[in-house]
Structure 1
């Protein structure tokens, strides 16, 4: 039996292998259906999206993240970075996925495909972003306040072991 980092490696169970094969089959079917109509357009979209992400977006949010880390580091609270990172990342992911609708660029196509109006996506995204940051701030405040049992724990910790 081979070992990987000190842990014996073993083959997956038959159920895992079956689920993996089914997921590959489903992904293959979706790919065939997607490429059936306009394979060149889809391929160009994937290449363009990969290039846009790797050459423009990744450096942009790396610089923004570095700025947030430096700001918290300068204040001496680097551990609080996650309270900004998580809501910002989720908001950016929503913006990236729904950008055409948030930007109002596909109103006619969206209405023809779904029969629904495409307005309101910008307001909803802003509301979701505000809720994400407000929830993060609330979690930060809840974790910042002292816990009522902390004095009791400290007193128990300071007692000699025989008293426990």
Structure 2
């Protein structure tokens, strides 16, 4: 049987890894800010906010997650069949960023809130679909350039074939 630990050793053993006092203070401030934002958000139409959050979670989990998982699996399989499976990240990253931009700016890209946007800002919402397509093209083009650069650098580093 082990002898009982002195109180100081017991406290050292039970001490939680909380970090520095500055980290604890920042964590407390972030919780306070989140609580304030939650109270302000839910003060008006709390049922609408809760319904929107639950609906968005269900839409993501039941519709969007299976769709982009299937698209990712198809891209990886296609690249794997060509022997280029490691190129998948050069497709995944620009696709994810493009879809994130589409998700955030969908009302303006689709034109469903064009009149409301014009009345609120005094600006036209006409250019959003073209800008999103241009940003998507730049993302995929930049990814293709990065892949080409890395492939070129990898071929330069290869030792010459011995004949």
Task: Output one character per residue of 1:21-73: Cα deviation in whole Å (capped at 9) or x when no partner.
Answer: 11111111112222222111111111111010000000000000000000011
Equivalence map 1:115-130=2 (5 Å): 115-130=122-137
Query: Does residue 1:93 correspond to 2:100, yes or no?
Result: yes
Give 1 or 2 for the bigger CA radius of gyration: 2
Deviation at 1:109, TM superposition (A): 2.3
Deviation at 1:113, TM superposition (A): 2.9
Query: Does residue 1:62 correspond to 2:75, yes or no?
Result: no
Distance 2:126 2:18 in 1: 51
RMSD: 2.3
Partner of 2:31: 24
Residues 64 and 48 of structure 1, relative CA distance in 2, 3 Å threshold: same
Question: TM-score, length-normalised on structure 1?
Answer: 0.82
Query: Does residue 1:45 correspond to 2:52, yes or no?
Result: yes
The gaps in structure 2 that reach 5 residues or longer are 1-11
Distance 1:137 1:149 in 2: 18
The gaps in structure 1 that reach 5 residues or longer are 156-164
Question: TM-score, length-normalised on structure 2?
Answer: 0.82
Higher RCO, 1 or 2 (CA under 8 Å, sep at least 6)? Answer: 2
Contact 2:109 2:132 in 1 (8 A): yes
Partner of 1:35: 42
Partner of 1:113: 120
Deviation at 1:82, TM superposition (A): 0.5
Partner of 2:139: 132
Count, aligned residues: 149
Partner of 2:6: none
